[in-house]
Chain A
Amino acid sequence: MTPFLIAQIALTLMVFVALLSSAAGMVYMERKVAAFLQQRVGPLLVGPKGLLQPLADVIKLMFKEELRPRAADRILFALAPIISATAAFAAFAVVPFGAETTFFGLLDQPLRLQVADVNVAVLVIFAIASMSVYGIVLAGWSSNSKYSLLGGLRSSAQMISYELSYGMALAGVLLMANSLSLTDIVNGQSGTWFGFVPRWFVFLQPIGFLVYMTAGIAETNRAPFDFPEAEQELVAGYHTEYSSMSFAMFFLAEYINMVTVSAVATDLFLGGWHGPLLPASFGWIWFLIKVGAILFFYVWMRWTLPRYRYDQLMAFGWKVLLPVSVVNLLVTAAAVLAFGL
């Protein structure tokens, strides 16, 4: 085995572990921020400042009894959380999170900070996102429960509707960058305008960014669009009948999906690992800061906005978000043609 191959395998393992721990970190952040916004203190007892609370939650979930309703479809009931978690992990594989590095000369050729370099990366993320619907839909159907089925149906309708706007928002950036590779898109955003404004696509595509973020919240089933699991109406939606680790896998998938959506937003709109002060080999620190900021924004939105009504969600998706994103795409295409941006 060459050192390069070992580094590649180590990088892959590191991304896996980082995603797992980011979910734990997100749970802690979510609870602390929620507590702050509601003037509570949040988790406090387990570990210093409650930092070990996610670990305690994981241990609790692991030792709980695994329950399955008798009327449930055995194979699909077991398969659904696996599909959800696998899709969540797989999507991050094509996301680059730093510039090429040789680890201070340790490697003879530069290693890309990315698990798999695919030249149609944006489309791969889109494809895996469309696969993750199946986890939720199958969980809803196989549980053989009214609440689960309604949650699954809502989820599929919602994700189909918002995927369109999501794709249109991505297409605007693709036109600007003239590439489908995320690495090329990030490298197209290096440098500054007038010496101080970073050349991020968010300034060229503000509407695209807004549409992307809104559709991203809907795609990850977060409040104010968390209809698949609306507690007051559906108990817990598609995962009502799940317990123990299979429930934990849905939970994990939801948080990892959030991390992926934020990481893709950072690469597409916020200049990825480009930033001032730090040298290029430490660009991943900028990447982490930007992703953290978007994740905080998500949590903030969840605890600030009330849930919409379901018909409002559908009307908004088809009558506002989709037309806006189509017009944005047309204007972008015209601008690229006219000015050759």
Chain B
Amino acid sequence: MTLFYLFGGVAVITSLLVIAQRNPIYSVLLLIASFGALSGLYILLDAPFAAVIQIIVYAGAIMVLFLFVVMLLNAPHEDTDLDIRVHPMLHPGAMRLGAVLAVALVGELIWALTNSNVSGSFPAGPVVSVATIGRRLFTEYAFPFEVTSVLILVAMVGAVVMAKQDSAAKGKR
């Protein structure tokens, strides 16, 4: 139980610090620390596979891309002055939209937490073995799994098309 509070505390504190940072690089690093704490929680739940995948996929692959983009834009500090040079997401309109979305998220979370009937300890065992996870993923959950992979494929093709258009436009100039 001590370990649960340790990992949980680290996850909550680092997640809060992520949005309290001015420097995006620090935000990215704190998010990685938060993922690490989450992975510790998975290990406490007897799910080493989920824990390691959490590190490989989120902390390892996705966050490296985040860091890559932040470094490439080389933005050590967020600009808070509202002028034309500022990113469109930081204009008042975008910020109001963000506030609406945040309220919606909090509402959803409260709804989910009050309506869920999951309580007590859930049965250990089925989440432990990699073979079991694989089998269930490709039989019981085959449809959601395939839909997700198609979604990712579409996103990938979209990214390639957009990148190509950009370079083609540059070539014409």
Contacts and interface: CB of A to CB of B under 8 A. Distances in A.
B26 to A, nearest CB: 8
A131 B52 contact: no
Contact of B64 (A76, A123, A130): A130
Given A123-B52, A124-B52, A130-B55, A153 B64 contact: no
B49 A130 contact: no
Interface string A118-147: 111001101100110110011011000000
A131 B57 CA distance: 11
Contact of B48 (A119, A131, A163): A119
A160 B49 contact: no
Interface residues on B, range: 20 to 34
A76 B29 CA distance: 10
A134 B61 contact: no
Interface residues of A, number: 26
A215 interface: no
Q: Name A's interface SS.
A: helix
Contacts of A156: 64, 67-68, 71
B25 interface: yes
A130 B48 contact: no
B99 interface: no
A315 to B, nearest CB: 16
A180 interface: yes
B131 to A, nearest CB: 9
A160 B65 contact: yes
Given A118-B48, A160-B61, A180-B130, A127 B67 contact: no
A131 B25 contact: no
Given A134-B32, A156-B68, A160-B65, A127 B48 contact: no
A131 B60 contact: yes
Contacts of B97: none
A149 B71 contact: yes
Contacts of A131: 55, 59-60
B162 to A, nearest CB: 18
B134 to A, nearest CB: 11
A157 B52 contact: no
A141 B73 CA distance: 12
B55 A134 contact: no
B137 interface: no
A130 B71 contact: no
Interface string B48-83: 110011011001110011011001101000000000
Given A123-B52, A134-B32, 9 more contacts: A119-B48, A120-B130, A127-B52, A127-B60, A130-B59, A131-B55, A137-B68, A156-B71, A157-B68
21 contacts: A118-B48, A123-B56, A130-B55, A130-B60, A130-B64, A131-B59, A134-B29, A134-B64, A134-B67, A137-B68, A138-B29, A141-B25, A141-B67, A149-B71, A149-B74, A152-B71, A153-B68, A153-B71, A156-B67, A157-B68, A160-B68
